[in-house]
Structures are given as structure tokens and as C-alpha cells.
């Protein structure tokens, strides 16, 4: 079970015991699925309650407002993203290059799932007019870039720190932008072949290039 102690917008005094923590995670999982699969317009506390078969008051016991619930969904999602990526990297246990390739392969698959694609696109859209969504997008971008930076540093520690930082941001942009290309007609029109293989090769070339 994930530790929910860092979720700041839980109503004070709630989710102290295991039963409460389990209920919070059930609420967050349901809310996350609604956001990913049906969009922010369907993301309501009443809808979450209906999906779980509980009363609206039960949801409001832990999250006072829709904004509180949304913030908690984003906080927990970011933590899960980083933890999952770290687990993949740690499971390889090989050279820095093998660990990085494992991360890239994992990201190319994960980012094209309907779930992650939906969450990512919803957050991007909301960021245009929602201050918290914009801050969440920036925070997630920072944390993911930092993860990539730490991952590639053993590979290119001879390169200047600024170059490593720039490369980590570019790699993140490539990986997050991959869903826009995957499944589109552009790979047929431009005869790109195996897109995942192509992206993996280009990302690795970018990292190892000393120029």
C-alpha cells in the first residue's frame, strides 16, 4: 500500500487507521480512472461516490472539495510514476546504459497506454486555464527530468552538467511526445518503420553524443 502521509489536502484527522487509508486509496484510484478515461468534465466527487457505491458525504469526509481530490490524484500519480520507473531500472541491475535503455523501453510502452495518454492529455489541457494544473505540470516535468538526469549522469558524467540537464529535458520531451506520433498516419507517410526502435536509437544517440 502506498504511504498517503504526504498528501496534504486530506481533511485533518482522517485516514489515520488502515481502514481509512484503504478507503482514501480506493477513492483516489477511482478518481484517477475517471480523469484518465472520461476526462475532467466527468471528474466529480458525486461520480466517484457512485462508482464506489458510497455516499457523497463519505468522499467529502476525506476530501472537502473537488480541487482537493484533484490535487491528491496528481500528487499520488507523480509518486507512482517515479516509483514504477525506479522499479524497472532497479530490476535490470546492469550497466548504466542497460538501465537507461530499460527506462526508455518502459516509457515508450507506458506512455502509449490509454490510461497514461488520457491523464497526460487532460493535464496538458487543464494547464491552459487552471493554475494548479499548470503548477502540477511544471512540477511533474521537473521531477521526471531530474529522474532522467540522475539516470544518464553515470553514462555521460564526463560531459558538463548543463549539457546533461539539457539532454534530460530533451529526452523527456521525446518520450512524452511519442504518443502524438504512435498510431498516427505520419509513420506510414514518412515510412518510419518500427517507431519504438527508432525512438530508442535516437534517444540513445542523443545521450551518448559528445557534441
Residues 54 and 136 in one domain: no
Mean pLDDT of 14-19: 61
Q: What is the mean pLDDT of the chain?
A: 89
87 lies in some domain: no
Q: What is the pLDDT, as a whole number, of residue 173? A: 95
Residues 98 and 44 in one domain: no
Q: Which domain holds residue 149?
A: 93-211
DSSP symbol at 64: S
Residues 97 and 69 in one domain: no
Compute the distance between CA of residue 99 and CA of residue 88 in angstroms, rounded to an integer. Answer: 8
Proportion of the chain above pLDDT 90, given as a percent: 68
Residues 111 and 69 in one domain: no
Residues 130 and 181 in one domain: yes
Residues 66 and 30 in one domain: yes
Q: What is the pLDDT, as a whole number, of residue 204? A: 94
User: Which has the minimum average pLDDT: 11-15, 45-49, 140-144?
Assistant: 11-15
For the stretch 122-142, pLDDT in tens is 999 999 988 888 988 898 999
Q: What is the pLDDT, as a whole number, of residue 1? A: 44
17 lies in some domain: yes
Pick the closest to residue 210 from 158, 175, 144 (CA basis): 158
CATH number at residue 149: 1.10.357
Residues 26 and 128 in one domain: no
CATH number at residue 40: 1.10.10.60
pLDDT band at 43 (very low <50, low <70, confident <90, very high): very high
Cα angle: 14, vertex 18, 19; to 5 degrees:
75
Residue ranges in the chain assigned as alpha helix (H): 18-38, 45-52, 56-62, 66-92, 96-110, 114-126, 131-152, 161-181, 186-189, 195-208
Residues 112 and 156 in one domain: yes
For the stretch 55-114, pLDDT in tens is 999 999 999 999 899 989 988 888 899 999 999 999 987 899 999 999 999 999 999 999
Q: What is the pLDDT, as a whole number, of residue 91? A: 94
Residues 204 and 154 in one domain: yes
Is 80 exceeded by the pLDDT of residue 211? no
Residues 107 and 65 in one domain: no
196 lies in some domain: yes
pLDDT band at 180 (very low <50, low <70, confident <90, very high): confident
- Which pTM does this prediction carry? 0.85
Amino acid at each position: 500500500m502506498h504511504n498517503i502521509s504526504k498528501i496534504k489536502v486530506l481533511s485533518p484527522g482522517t485516514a489515520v487507521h488502515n481502514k481509512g487509508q484503504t478507503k482514501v486509496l480506493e477513492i483516489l484510484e477511482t478518481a484517477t480512472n475517471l480523469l484518465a478515461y472520461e476526462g475532467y468534465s466527468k471528474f466529480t466527487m458525486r461520480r466517484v461516490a457512485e462508482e464506489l457505491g458510497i455516499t457523497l458525504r463519505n468522499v467529502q469526509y476525506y476530501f472537502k472539495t473537488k480541487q482537493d481530490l484533484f490535487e491528491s490524484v496528481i500528487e499520488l500519480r507523480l509518486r507512482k510514476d517515479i516509483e514504477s520507473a525506479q522499479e524497472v531500472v532497479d530490476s535490470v541491475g546492469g550497466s548504466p546504459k542497460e538501465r537507461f535503455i530499460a527506462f526508455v523501453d518502459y516509457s515508450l510502452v507506458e506512455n502509449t497506454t490509454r490510461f497514461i495518454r488520457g491523464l497526460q492529455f487532460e493535464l496538458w489541457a487543464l494547464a491552459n486555464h487552471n493554475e494548479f494544473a499548470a503548477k502540477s505540470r511544471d512540477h511533474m516535468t521537473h521531477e521526471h527530468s531530474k529522474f532522467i538526469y540522475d539516470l544518464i549522469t553515470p553514462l555521460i558524467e564526463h560531459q558538463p552538467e548543463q549539457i546533461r540537464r539539457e539532454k534530460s529535458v530533451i529526452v523527456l520531451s521525446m518520450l512524452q511526445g511519442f504518443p502524438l506520433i504512435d498510431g498516427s498516419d505520419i509513420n506510414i507517410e514518412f515510412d518510419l518503420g518500427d517507431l519504438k526502435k527508432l525512438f530508442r536509437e535516437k534517444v540513445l544517440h542523443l545521450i551518448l553524443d559528445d557534441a
